[in-house]
Structures are given as C-alpha cells and as structure tokens.
Structure 1
Amino acid sequence: MSEAPLRVLIVDDEAPARARLRDLLGDIAATQPSRVVGLAANGVEALRLLESEPADVVLADIRMPVMDGVELARHVLRFEQPPAVIFTTAYDQYAIQAFELAATDYLLKPVRAQRLAESLARVRRQLPAADELLAGLAPGPRRHFSVNERGRILLVPVADVVYLRAELKYVTARTVEREFLLDESLVQLEQEFSGRFVRVHRNCLVARAAVAGVERGGEQDGEAHWDVLLAGLAERLPISRRQWPVVKQVLGL
C-alpha cells in the first residue's frame, strides 16, 4: 500500500466506540491518512458492507453479537484481496501475546491515537493475516460458512448444513434448500466441527442432528451397505465399511 489514504471499515457493537475510532483516525490523518468507508455493529453487517465497498483495513471489536471479530476475520481472509484486520480488544495479557505472534494487530481499549497510528503503519508494510492463529483464538467453531457467489458474500449458517461432501477441489455444503461450494478442506472442517458432524465416508461428513436413521442399501446389485437417511432430504448417503463402526457408536445404534 502507498501513502494514499487507507480505506477503513470500523466494526464495533457500541456506537461510542465506533465514533471514538473515527475521531482518532481524523486526529492522525496527517501521518496516517485514511478514509472511513463504513461503520458496522457486528461481523455480518461488516461483510455486507464489504460486498459493495472494499477496504484496506478492518478495525474490529472482538466480542460482538451475531458474529464476533474473530469469525469476521476468518471470513475476510478468504477474500481474493483480503483487508488487514486489526482487533480492538479488552482481552487479557495472554491473548494479547497471541495477537502479537499473529500478522494481525490489536489495539487495547481505550484506543490511543499513537497506538492506532503505529498499527496503521504496520498495515502499510502489508503484514499478512494467519487463519491458523485466528482459529486458535476463536472461542469455538464458526457459526457461518462464507461463500463467494456471483460477486456476493453469502453467509450460510453451519446449523443449516445437512452434510459436507468433498468433490474435486471444492466441498459441497448441502442445506435442505440448496447446495453451496466451499473453498475449504474436508479434513479441516472435520477437525473444526467434530462435535457437529460425523464422517460417514472418506468424502462425506453428515450433521448428527440431521440423521433420521440408517437403512440397508445396495442389496440388489450385490454390494450391500448401510445408508444414512436425512431429515428433510430424500437423498441417501452411503456409509463406508470402514466408517460403519464409528457411525454406529456416534449415533448410538
């Protein structure tokens, strides 16, 4: 990034905190020029704004309703040209040390002008973000998957996903209504959502809450196996012989 004004999106659920950051950006404009492109009260609002207004920097509170700052940052990292994410936080010293190891920066509340200027200077040096660190800092699995579709960012609630199936280089996330393509690894998704999904085949994870039962299948063609029956879908998913003992144990069959 050059010394042209940085495009900044401010994300905080408290209006006074948003106003303070905006004022501070004005105070340091002589050394760190910037332009506020939007204000958002949570991560979902921020993603909606980023669809139409690109940003170089996202100043994001950590604890917010609907979608917190850590999950927002993980979605942002999947943009083709992701903005830098700077957290504004009241986390304890151990979390701050973790932030210092990341490429993203942090600002302790109440935010000071000099510290904000230093942080924007770091952004200009193009320090990249690290999804692995963000995953470690998150209090739990994400609540949404983010999907880039025809220039828009779609947020798919994880709770709505019936199954995840690896196909070529993408993973298909299936809800009752439709399919979405995720640019993620099935192995990583299994690790992150181990409490929600169970592997039924080498290429498929099924939401435990979506399992309506199991039934024998394939007997007519001589390759008998068990199928998972899904709530809300007529589709049946085969269970591999290798995964059958695990599926039985997990589902209490």
Structure 2
Amino acid sequence: MNVVLIDDENLALNYLEHHLQSIFGIHVAGKFINPVEGKEFILQTDIDVVFLDIHLPEISGIELAGQLLQFKPRLNIVFVTAYDDYAVKAFELNALDYVMKPLRKERLTITLERIRERLEGVPAAPPAAKEELHVCLFQQLQMTAKGRTFAPIRWRTSRAQELFLYMLQHRGQLVRKSALIELLWPEYEPGKAYS
C-alpha cells in the first residue's frame, strides 16, 4: 500500500512515518511539509492513501483533500490532526478516517485495516451461493426470495425508503454523501442534510 504524508510539522511527519514503516505492507512513497508539492506528487504517482493534516500553510487540508478527490476519486484520505472541529467537514468529503494527534500505533493499525478492506473489497459470493431477490415497488416496497414473500417494511420516512432503494440499486459502488444530499435533501443546508 503506497502512502503519502502531508503535515506542516517535521516532527509529526517523522513520527507518523516511523509508525507506518513498522507495519507490514506499507510503503511511504513521500512525505511533504509543502502541500502544493505533495499534491503534485500525488497526482503524478500511484498512491493509495494520503495522511493529511488539517492546518497547512497556503491551503487547508480540507481544501486540498477536495482538490485531490476531484482528480483521484478513489484516493483514501485520512485526516491526522490535533483539532476535532473539522470532523463533520472531513466526512462530508468521504474521508476514510479522522485520527487525533498524538497518534497511537493501535489506532493507526485500525485505520490501516479499514483501508485494506476498502482496497481489497468484499469478496464476491460464488455464483452457486447467490440467490435472487425480487423487489416490487408499487406504493409499498415488497421483497421476495426463494419463493417467500417478506412482510412489508415500515419506513420512518419516505426519504428513508428512497435512500434504501438508491443504495440497493448502487450496491457494490462508491456513493458519495454529497451526491446523496444533492439527490434527497437539496433544500436543506449542508450541516442539517448531513445529519
């Protein structure tokens, strides 16, 4: 797994690099104090994960992550910061994780396991093990599998049902939270729509 580290503190970069190098399968491809240099390197190199500080000179980590994801939407972003004020904004960008400084190796290991699962994907079931699921949508959602019809699902709101059906239709695909908000809650302000 190729990773890049971007932080405006050299000590923090070295500390994170030290922890990452002690974990099997991790290659630190680059570490940068200058976010512009880091961005150029990431755009030109095959990188799986970026560990990114929020407070950087010239550009915030949130803005930089947004720019990187425009060009590399499958890039995994992990914010490593001393500030918890930006967690909601980070997850709006589909950040994989938000880790607080000082970083603990146990916490880093959990984050890396989540990244490995995401990169490897969930193994598909063998064709013989798959079963057909039929979904009928005429005013009420009804599902049938193996000739058995399940009781209708009661939804708290019609939007909850719409969200379920959208996710069902796009199963196995990456769906951005921002796309869901635009689709289902365009009339709400971003903070309210996100919650």
TM-score, structure 2 normalization: 0.56
Question: In the TM superposition, what whole-angstrom CA distance separates every residue of 1:92-126 from its partner, at most 9, and x where no partner exists?
Answer: 3x644665684420111011111111111111222
Greater relative contact order (Cα < 8 A, sep 6+)? 2
CA contact (8 A) 1:104 1:129 kept: no
Question: In the TM superposition, what whole-angstrom CA distance separates every residue of 1:162-211 from its partner, at most 9, and x where no partner exists?
Answer: xxxxxxxxxxxxxxxxxxxxxxxxxxxxxxxxxxxxxxxxxxxxxxxxxx
Alignment match, 1:54: 46
Distance 1:84 1:129 in 2: 14
* Displacement after TM superposition at 1:132 (Å): 3.5
Pick the structure with more helix per residue.
Answer: 2
* Displacement after TM superposition at 1:81 (Å): 5.3
Alignment match, 2:18: 23
Unaligned runs of 5+ in 2: 120-173, 180-195
Instruction: Give the residue type in structure 2 aligned to 1:22.
Output: E
Equivalent in 3, 14, 17 of residue 8 of structure 1: 3
Over 3 Å counting, the alpha-carbon distance change for 1:129 and 1:90 in structure 2 is farther
Pick the structure with more strand per residue.
Answer: 1
| Superposed structure 1 runs of 4+ greater than 3 Å apart | 94-103, 127-133
Distance 2:57 2:116 in 1: 30
Equivalent in 40, 61, 70 of residue 78 of structure 1: 70
SS in 1 for 2:47: coil
Alignment match, 2:55: 63
Alignment match, 1:119: 111
Distance 1:49 1:131 in 2: 27
Over 3 Å counting, the alpha-carbon distance change for 1:28 and 1:70 in structure 2 is same
Question: In the TM superposition, what whole-angstrom CA distance separates every residue of 1:205-242 from its partner, at most 9, and x where no partner exists?
Answer: xxxxxxxxxxxxxxxxxxxxxxxxxxxxxxxxxxxxxx
Over 3 Å counting, the alpha-carbon distance change for 1:131 and 1:50 in structure 2 is farther
Distance 1:96 1:20 in 2: 22
SS in 2 for 1:39: strand
CA contact (8 A) 1:90 1:108 kept: yes
- The within-5 A match list for 1:161-240 is none
Question: In the TM superposition, what whole-angstrom CA distance separates every residue of 1:43-64 from its partner, at most 9, and x where no partner exists?
Answer: 3121111133221000000001
Aligned length: 127
Equivalent in 79, 96, 103 of residue 87 of structure 1: 79
* Displacement after TM superposition at 1:77 (Å): 1.0
Is 1:38–2:33 an aligned residue pair?
no
The percentage of counterpart residues that share the same residue type is: 34
Distance 2:90 2:70 in 1: 19
CA contact (8 A) 1:11 1:41 kept: yes
CA contact (8 A) 1:57 1:86 kept: yes
CA contact (8 A) 2:43 2:68 kept: no
CA contact (8 A) 1:104 1:130 kept: no
Over 3 Å counting, the alpha-carbon distance change for 1:88 and 1:56 in structure 2 is same
CA contact (8 A) 2:4 2:51 kept: yes
Distance 2:87 2:53 in 1: 14
